[in-house]
Structure 1
Amino acid sequence: MLLRYGISVEGITIVEGNISFEQEVNNALWALEFVGKDIPVYPGSQRPIIKSYRTVENVHGKGGIGDKVVKPSKLKPSNKHAIDAIIELADRFAGELEFLAISPLTNLALAYLKDKGITEKIKKVWVMGGTIYGRGNITPVAEYNIWVDPDAAKIVFNSGMDITMVSWDLITNYTVNEEWEEIKKMKTKLSEFYIDIYTHYRNYAMTKQKMKGNPHPDLITTAIAVDKSVATKIERQYVDVENCDCLTRGMTLIDYLGILGKEPNVDVVYEINREKFINMLYYLLSWF
């Protein structure tokens, strides 16, 4: 979607997540090959800062994009570590660089710990993660991206960076329902690819997560980053992350009433314009 809207993508950083790290790297390279773009891919952290985590092939399919396991890409990843790439890009594009975090926050947290100056250099951080109302998808109260590395998330949320959070329980209100059949009728290369990779996730979401259709956490977050008017209700609030070794590990705590007396640090998205998002999705899938 970023490329479709003419956004300059300076790099893709890879971090531990839904599937094996090696498959994540290959998926990123394969996707670039698929759209005919040569953008640096920087492998980064392969595990959380402190504790272990688990992958979720049952949710996203064995290949991470449904049950499709793509062939090894002809492209090669950069030899530069993602942490160093983030710091260098923040220096090069100081005041302009935006970081789209549709993953655990380990790379960004470690980059910050290595060079805290990036706080002033990174213009914006868009986070797909957390929950507003404590309705999780990996534990009863935690969303997967934050749960994987809550220690990293806690560092980032308290770093002073300009953060907008798009939560899991928000995006569950904006699933692709009857539009699924419309997308099938589009018959473009991208629309057919979309149906191919989302069938597994759609089935899981509707049967296991009790949704009406397939959710789009990453695409909704990206759409808001591309066009801020997609988000129709945003509140500036203090958000922290629970990183204890307990039942609520990975939960995002929002101080709705200002009880803690802390300065608000995150723009929390509460509502989006569904029609605008769906139109952006259609525009993306009509690309080729």
Structure 2
Amino acid sequence: MMAKKLLLVDVDCGVDDAQALMMALAAPDVQILGITCCHGNTTLENVCKNVLRVLKTCDRLEVPVYGGASRALLGQNMHASNYHGVDGLGDVPDPTCPGLDSLKKEHAVLAMLRIVSEYPGQVTLVATGPLTNLALALNMDPTFPQKLKSLFIMGGNMESRGNITVCGEFNFACDPEAAYAVLNGFECPTHIATWEFTCNNSLPWTFYHEWISQDTKKAEFMRKISAHSFAFTKSRSNHSGEIWTREFVSCDSYAVAAAIDESFVSSSIHCAVSVELSGVLTRGMMVLDPLGKLQKDHKAFIMTKCDIEKLKSLLMEAMK
């Protein structure tokens, strides 16, 4: 019997984090050792509640959940309520949702350090929100990245397109210092699903409607929590040239799909990366270094193409 892939998932649970989590929970060859929560799409408290809602929907409340960083390293916070809803899951509350007393008492960063030390060289860390928890883990234990099998990130950009600032992708722009620390301090194999990559490998709306129309409890949950973001996206597509409004983009699902199926990514750029911290217009922008000007030994894999049919299959299975 083949050993299961061991995953640690760090989220700022909005709608696409929920989609990605449900994909990982449905994968038969994956064991999620823990879910760590970070500020981002909504407040930390909402993020924790949202993860518990997802686990309840999937009948997987045995998966441990840990609360982590409630703000960026420098303290300023931004949220994405226009897309995800104020609560992060489309503002369709569930009065039967498990309370915050269902969280583990251990802080997310301490849980990360402990879990990875218990399984050295075996854990794949997937980060789908701001990288604050990862940066704090690095500061507490500089050997933390060496103990990871690999790191998969949804965040950053490769063509300087922004979605929250002129040149900044949301997760990196939320905490540029954390993103900088992780991209310059983690030397484990690092795979990045950028904003433009997800948009360039989007799914048709016909698939989206087929996906959420399945007659299951999970699909009903997804229909409810996705309605707000669907309406927002459609309203933007009527008077916008933005690439992400044209089709269905479940950003975080790309990083999770890559982590659970190594054949998902069909093409990538292998080069050093960093993050701009001081630019007036470019703060939080990820910088690619194909010419080697940064003189960094560690290079990341920047995803460029993927197997769209495989993504569809993983998403469909997540709703069954």
TM-score tier, shorter chain, comes to over 0.9
Q: For residues 9-52 of structure 1, give each alpha carbon's deviation from its aligned partner in whole angstroms, at most 9, with x where no partner exists.
A: 11111111111211111111122122122111111111111140
Question: Tell me, what secondary structure is at the counterpart of 1:220?
Answer: helix
**1:69 aligns to what?**
93
Question: Tell me, what secondary structure is at the counterpart of 2:102?
Answer: coil
Highest RCO, 1 vs 2 (Cα 8 Å, sep ≥ 6): 2
Q: 1:199 aligns with which of 216, 227, 240?
A: 227
Q: For residues 101-158 of structure 1, give each alpha carbon's deviation from its aligned partner in whole angstroms, at most 9, with x where no partner exists.
A: 0011111111111111112111111100001101111011111111111111111111
**2:297 aligns to what?**
263
Question: Tell me, what secondary structure is at the counterpart of 1:11?
Answer: strand
Paired residue type of 1:46 = S
Q: For residues 75-119 of structure 1, give each alpha carbon's deviation from its aligned partner in whole angstroms, at most 9, with x where no partner exists.
A: 611111111111101110100011110011111111111111112
Rate the CA distance shift 1:166–1:88 in 2: closer, same or farther, 3 A: same
Consecutive unaligned residues of structure 1, counting only runs of 5 or more, are: none
**2:208 aligns to what?**
180
How many Å separate the matches in 2 of 1:184 and 1:153? 33
Alignment of 1:5 with 2:19, yes or no, is: no
The answer as to whether partners of 2:157 and 2:194 remain within 8 angstroms in 1 is: yes
Q: CA RMSD in A?
A: 1.6
Q: How do 1:117-266 and structure 2 match up within 5 A?
A: 117-159=143-185, 160-173=187-200, 174-208=202-236, 209=242, 211-244=245-278, 246-266=280-300
Question: Tell me, what secondary structure is at the counterpart of 1:110?
Answer: helix
Tell me which moved more, 261-270 or 226-235.
261-270
Question: Tell me, what secondary structure is at the counterpart of 1:83?
Answer: helix
- 1:63 is displaced (CA, Å) by 2.2
Q: Normalised by the size of structure 1, how large is the TM-score?
A: 0.94
Question: Tell me, what secondary structure is at the counterpart of 1:9?
Answer: strand
Question: Tell me, what secondary structure is at the counterpart of 2:31?
Answer: coil
Identical positions, percent:
29
How many Å separate the matches in 2 of 1:125 and 1:138? 24
- 1:215 is displaced (CA, Å) by 0.9
- 1:245 is displaced (CA, Å) by 6.0
Q: Normalised by the size of structure 2, how large is the TM-score?
A: 0.85
- 1:229 is displaced (CA, Å) by 1.2
Q: How many aligned positions are there?
A: 286
Alignment of 1:47 with 2:71, yes or no, is: yes
